[in-house]
Amino acid sequence: RKENPEVMRPITTLSKLITVFRQTDQWLDRLGVEDIGRLNQVVTQNRVQELILVAEALHEQNVASIAAQIVSRYDSGTRLVLIAGPSSSGKTTFAKRLAIQLLAHGLHPFTLELDNYFVDRERTPRDENGDYDFESIHALDLPKFNEHLIGLMDGEPVQLPRFNFITGKSEEGQIVQLNDRQIIIVEGIHGLNPNLVPAVPAERIFRVYVSALTQLNIDLHNRVSTTDVRLLRRIVRDARRRGYSATDTIQRWPSVRRGEKANIFPYQENADAMFNSALPYELTALRSLAEPLLLQVEPRTRPHIEANRLLSFLRWVTPITLDQMSLIPDTSLLREFIGGSILDDYHPGARAMIDQD
């Protein structure tokens, strides 16, 4: 430590996170894909269909389990589900699949968009470089957000805000009133931070941490970084949805990582449940899509160093064919990044809107 090199840093216990890692390790053993070599064997022996189906079944089993936990707390007052996790963890698809499971249990989820609670641009805090810090919790209108949450949970009609990203101003949005058996879902980077909802009693909140906690290693001595998998997901998604090059995404990544370390990781043990969004087969699909994008990065640039590192890693993975990629279900969390998700146009909660005509 710079401030006192003779004193050790306090050890943070991550018992919930460790439990998820151990559970994932057990699943990989059962699936017979303990490392990249075994995964490649599955692909070359044409057994990838079974791996995809079982991996997706395990995901759905976990989503259903978390939904059941929420339902079990509904009668004791839980009315708010907060979902948080680092970039490219698949939070959006997870939230929608959770909503479907809650519907199957007889609860009616309403998704509240946290981005609509940004303060007006002139009130947005700035970082050390003088740039707007939209990832700061103080970039949100917390008093209004908490007031609206309490009103919605008490069954009152609430006029929601709608943030205009062009003008940088908050505008009036739709009027919403929750019906019987409805529950609010909020997805955002600050979902595990207790300072987000200080006005809401703890017994009314259920927090979920979502992250791609990859346990698949290259071999006994070389691990696959969970951060690398998320970066590959983001490179593929940014190119498809936003037209960004791999260079653009790689250049933005350090800033994204700083935001995660400040706003997400310190609070991950606050979660009531954790969902591991990693899929054991996903690298076989991501290689085919990410490799051409990484090869376009200009030589002799800083992003090229990172692109080369990712390319070297991906070359250990046997890619699946386009025909095999069609085996990935259209509800898969991976579809959020590679495209073809049936959930893209699904928005839970329309029944809460009040007709203003």
**How is residue 267 annotated by DSSP?**
G
- Least confident residue range of 175-189, 234-248, 341-355: 341-355
The pLDDT value given to residue 21: 83
> pLDDT tens digit string along 88-115?
999 999 999 999 999 999 999 999 989 8
**Residue 191 clears pLDDT 90, i.e. is over it:** yes
Return the closest-CA partner of residue 340 out of 291, 285, 292: 285
**Residue 1 clears pLDDT 70, i.e. is over it:** no
The pLDDT value given to residue 287: 97
* Structural domains of the chain, count: 1
Q: Is residue 69 part of a domain?
A: yes
Band of residue 354 on the pLDDT scale cut at 50, 70, 90: low
The residues, ordered by sequence, that sit 6+ positions from 11 with a Cβ below 8 Å of its Cβ are none
**How is residue 123 annotated by DSSP?**
G
**How is residue 108 annotated by DSSP?**
E
Task: Give the whole-angstrom CA distance, residue 159 versus residue 172.
Answer: 7
Band of residue 133 on the pLDDT scale cut at 50, 70, 90: confident
Q: What is the mean pLDDT of residues 52-63?
A: 96
Task: Give the whole-angstrom CA distance, residue 129 versus residue 144.
Answer: 28
Tell me what the pLDDT averaged over the chain comes to.
92
The pLDDT value given to residue 135: 84
Read off the CATH number of the domain in which 291 is found.
Answer: 3.40.50.300
**Residue 2 clears pLDDT 80, i.e. is over it:** no
Q: Return the percentage of the chain with pLDDT > 70, whole number.
A: 96
Structure-token pair, residue 108: 């009616």
The pLDDT value given to residue 192: 95
Q: Is residue 8 part of a domain?
A: no
Q: Is residue 183 part of a domain?
A: yes
Would you say the C-alpha torsion 346, 352, 356, 357 has a positive or negative sign?
positive
Task: Give the whole-angstrom CA distance, residue 304 versus residue 288.
Answer: 19
Longest dimension (CA), the chain: 69
Q: Is residue 322 part of a domain?
A: yes
- 323, with CB counted inside 10 A (0-12, 13-18, 19+), is exposed
Band of residue 353 on the pLDDT scale cut at 50, 70, 90: low
Task: Give the whole-angstrom CA distance, residue 140 versus residue 210.
Answer: 22
Return the closest-CA partner of residue 333 out of 69, 110, 52: 52
Q: Is residue 282 part of a domain?
A: yes
Q: Is residue 7 part of a domain?
A: no
Kindly provide the b/e burial profile for residues 30-54, where b requires at least 16 CB atoms within 10 angstroms of the residue's own CB.
Answer: ebebbbbeebbebbeeeebeebbee
Q: Are 28 and 39 in contact, with CB atoms under 8 Å apart?
A: no
Band of residue 25 on the pLDDT scale cut at 50, 70, 90: confident
**Residue 333 clears pLDDT 80, i.e. is over it:** yes
> pLDDT tens digit string along 218-260?
887 888 889 999 999 999 999 999 999 999 999 999 989 998 9
Cα atoms in the Cβ-side hemisphere of radius 13 Å centred on 279: 27
The pLDDT value given to residue 129: 79
Residue tagged 């073809």 (tokens): 340
| DSSP for 287-342, written as a single string | HHHHHHHHTTSPTTSHHHHHHHHHHHHHTTSPPPPHHHHTTS-TT-TTHHHHS--T
Q: Is residue 1 part of a domain?
A: no
Helix ranges, the chain (H): 15-31, 36-44, 48-74, 91-104, 142-153, 226-241, 246-263, 282-294, 302-314, 322-325, 335-338
Q: What is the mean pLDDT of residues 13-24?
A: 85
The pLDDT value given to residue 348: 83
Beta sheet of 108-113, edge-to-edge order? 108-113, 182-187, 80-84, 205-211, 273-276
Q: Return the percentage of the chain with pLDDT > 90, whole number.
A: 76
Segments forming the whole domain that contains residue 170: 17-352
Around Cβ 234, how many Cβ atoms within 10 Å? 21
Q: Is residue 180 part of a domain?
A: yes
**Residue 356 clears pLDDT 60, i.e. is over it:** no
How many residues does the structure list for the chain? 357
Structure-token pair, residue 113: 């968009």
